[in-house]
């Protein structure tokens, strides 16, 4: 793949990863008050794990830059549950109250989610900018033949 | 136009392969036009081959760069145009010589 | 004959374009890994590579070795070990892209002039 085209693949991987992250935040927020899930118990906050993508064979040309395998983008490797215990709220009248009168609420803090959303959005938009820059460079290269 | 063959191959040189055409021009002094043209043709062929290779690599996703491909195309195109100009000059000169002899 | 068509400066420009293109890939990767824990921002040795691009072209030598990629140690790591400063990366990316664009256009213009020189005024 030519040098600039392969950059599109790198940015695309980031756009995809950040979008998954944003979707996860949306799910967390949507379920912030879900005290009873299908699996039982309150909704548990989910977070995504990012890892730099290792070079695949198609990206071999980029390997010219360094001796060791170099990253070629980013991937969401897993969506994991936050192990923070649920928020216990004293509410004996609630249908999901336990024998002691406490209801287990999801360990979702809307403020934390919004901060995460902001970071993900910023990262997403930055990678869109990178795509635009790559396109501008490609256009400039095409103009060489007039 | 076939989008791949942006630069047409060097073909229209038949008229100059007549024996004596080059020799007549050479007797006027300077390098033999035939030689100059043969050089030009060889370069055009080489650059055309390189351009073809560059196009193929780009299209099939090989390791290359867009700007190098564009440059290869342009080099092939320019050398071809130069050769055509040289050819035209030779033909003009030949025709003038023929006219003189009448 | 074509070697006089494409003078050493243009050959230098072509090599410099490749240097910028390679740097673009590394910077794009930095931005892609903005949120990757433990990721260290990198950059290429582009300044030296740009000089080498022009000096080797002027001397009629082959293209120099591909430049190296190094970690950019200018930014301290955040809590998760990531050292990508988005503002810095975007500024570098912008600068690099505009240099690529400028060199491309210079190349295009020079080639157009050569073409004009060949075909002349008719």
Residue B92 lies in a domain: yes
CB C80 within 8 A of CB A52: no
Global pTM reads 0.82
Pick A4's closest partner by Cβ from B62, B66, B73: B66
Question: Given an 8 Å threshold on Cβ–Cβ distance, is B64 in contact with A3?
Answer: yes
How much is the pLDDT for B28? 53
The rounded distance, in Å, linking the Cα atoms of C64 and C16 is: 11
The answer to whether A130 contacts chain C (CB < 8 Å) is: yes
Using the predicted structure, report yes or no on whether residue C96 has a pLDDT greater than 60.
yes
Nearest Cα residue in chain B from A61:
B63
Number of domains composing chain C: 1
Asked, for residue B4, whether it belongs to a domain, the answer is no
Domain total in chain B: 1
The domain containing residue A141 runs over which residues? 3-145
Q: How far is A124 from chain B (nearest CA, A)?
A: 26
Task: Report yes or no: C116 at the B interface, CB cutoff 8 Å.
Answer: no
Structure confidence by residue, pLDDT tens digits, A117-127: 999 999 999 99
Q: Nearest by CB to B81, which of C17, C21, C118?
A: C118
B30 touches chain A (CB under 8 A): no
* Residue B77 forms part of a structural domain: yes
Q: How many helices (H) and strands (E) does chain C have?
A: 4, 2
Residue B16 located in a structural domain: no
Closest-CA residue of chain C to B78: C115
Domain that holds residue B94: 32-101
* Alpha carbons B60 and A139: distance in angstroms, whole number: 19
Nearest-5° Cα angle at C65, C59 to C70? 130
CB contact under 8 A, B63 and A138: no
Flag whether B3 is in a domain.
no
C33 touches chain A (CB under 8 A): yes
- Reported as a pLDDT band with limits 50, 70 and 90, residue B13 is very low
Contact B57, B69 (CB under 8 A): yes
In terms of residue numbers, what domain contains C57?
2-119
Per the DSSP assignment, residues forming a β-bridge with A74 are: A52
Judged by CB atoms closer than 8 Å, whether chains meet at B65 and C104 is answered as no
Q: Name the least confident of A61-75, B78-92, C102-116.
A: A61-75
Q: Name the pLDDT band for A60 (thresholds 50, 70, 90).
A: very low
* Number of independent structural domains in chain A: 1
Is residue B73 exposed (0-12), middle (13-18) or buried (19+ Cβ within 10 Å)?
buried
């Amino acid at each position: 793949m030519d040098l600039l085209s392969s950059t599109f693949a790198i940015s695309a991987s980031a756009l995809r990863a950040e979008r998954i992250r944003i979707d996860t935040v949306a799910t967390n927020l949507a379920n912030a008050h879900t005290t009873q899930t299908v699996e039982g118990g309150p909704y548990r906050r989910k977070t995504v794990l990012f890892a730099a993508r290792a070079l695949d064979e198609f990206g071999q040309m980029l390997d010219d830059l360094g001796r060791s395998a170099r990253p070629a983008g980013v991937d969401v490797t897993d969506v994991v549950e936050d192990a923070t215990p649920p928020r216990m709220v004293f509410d004996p009248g609630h249908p999901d109250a336990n024998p002691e009168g406490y209801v287990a609420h999801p360990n979702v803090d809307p403020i934390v989610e919004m901060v995460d959303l902001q970071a993900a959005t910023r990262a997403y938009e930055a990678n869109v900018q990178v795509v635009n820059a790559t396109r501008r460079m490609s256009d400039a290269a095409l103009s060489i033949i007039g | 136009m076939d989008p791949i063959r942006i630069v047409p191959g060097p073909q229209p040189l038949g008229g100059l392969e007549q024996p004596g055409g080059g020799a007549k021009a050479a007797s006027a002094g300077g390098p033999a036009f035939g030689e100059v043209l043969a050089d030009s043709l060889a370069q055009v062929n080489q650059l055309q081959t390189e351009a073809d290779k560059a196009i193929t690599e780009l299209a099939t996703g090989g390791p290359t760069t867009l700007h190098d491909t564009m440059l290869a195309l342009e080099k092939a195109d320019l050398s071809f145009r130069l050769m055509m100009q040289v050819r035209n000059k030779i033909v003009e000169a030949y025709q003038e010589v023929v006219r003189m002899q009448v | 004959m074509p070697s006089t068509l494409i003078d050493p400066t243009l050959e230098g420009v072509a090599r410099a374009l490749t240097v910028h293109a390679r740097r673009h890939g590394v910077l794009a990767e930095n931005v892609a890994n903005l949120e990757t824990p433990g990721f260290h921002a990198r950059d290429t040795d582009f300044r030296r590579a740009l000089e080498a691009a022009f000096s080797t072209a002027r001397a009629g030598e082959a293209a120099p070795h591909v430049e190296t990629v190094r970690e950019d140690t200018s930014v301290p790591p955040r809590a998760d070990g990531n050292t990508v400063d988005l503002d810095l990366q975007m500024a570098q990316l912008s600068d690099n892209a505009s240099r690529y664009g400028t060199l491309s256009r210079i190349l295009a213009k020079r080639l157009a002039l050569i073409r004009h020189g060949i075909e002349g005024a008719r």
